[in-house]
């Protein structure tokens, strides 16, 4: 048990559906992340919420919309997805110390992921 839980573990959706992925961390961390992992590609950072900062990867399409209501919960809202969006979506959390902190502590703990298939 990593302390980061994701639901659902598997999701099949049509291109016209709207769904949401949920992530919850029980580690007291102050940063949460969404990653996309496609076959034979590196992990792609999609969104970060950290110390009041939200950072987006500009290449992420607007059909993905994150929401972070508090430091323990993170959502990824999905709408009108495409088949190429099928992938493993991983949530992670870490403790970011800030500019003066020890970066070696920015260790990411991952949830088990949601395997998404878009038909």
Binding site for another protein (CB under 8 A): 2, 31, 33, 35, 40-43, 45, 48, 50-51, 53, 55, 90, 94, 96, 98-99, 101, 103-104, 106-113
Q: Give least dist CB 19 to another protein, A.
A: 20
- Specify the pairing of strand 73-79 against strand 18-25: antiparallel
Q: Which is nearer to another protein, 41 or 59 (CB)?
A: 41
Q: Is 110 exposed, middle or buried (0-12, 13-18, 19+ CB in 10 A)?
A: middle
Q: Give least dist CB 63 to another protein, A.
A: 21
Question: How far, in Å, are 40, 45, 46, 90, 104 from residue 37 at the CA level?
Answer: 8, 9, 10, 7, 24
Q: Which is nearer to another protein, 9 or 77 (CB)?
A: 9
């Amino acid at each position: 048990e990593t302390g980061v839980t994701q639901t659902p573990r598997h999701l099949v959706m049509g291109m016209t559906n709207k769904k949401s992925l949920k992530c919850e961390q029980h580690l007291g961390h102050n940063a949460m992340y969404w990653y996309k992992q496609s076959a034979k590609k590196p992990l792609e950072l999609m969104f970060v919420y950290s110390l009041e900062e939200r950072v987006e990867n500009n290449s992420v399409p607007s059909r993905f919309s994150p929401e972070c209501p508090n430091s323990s919960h993170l959502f990824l809202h999905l709408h009108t997805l495409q088949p190429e969006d099928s992938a493993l979506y991983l949530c992670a959390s870490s403790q970011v110390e800030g500019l003066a902190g020890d970066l070696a502590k920015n260790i990411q703990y991952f949830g088990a992921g949601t395997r998404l298939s878009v038909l």
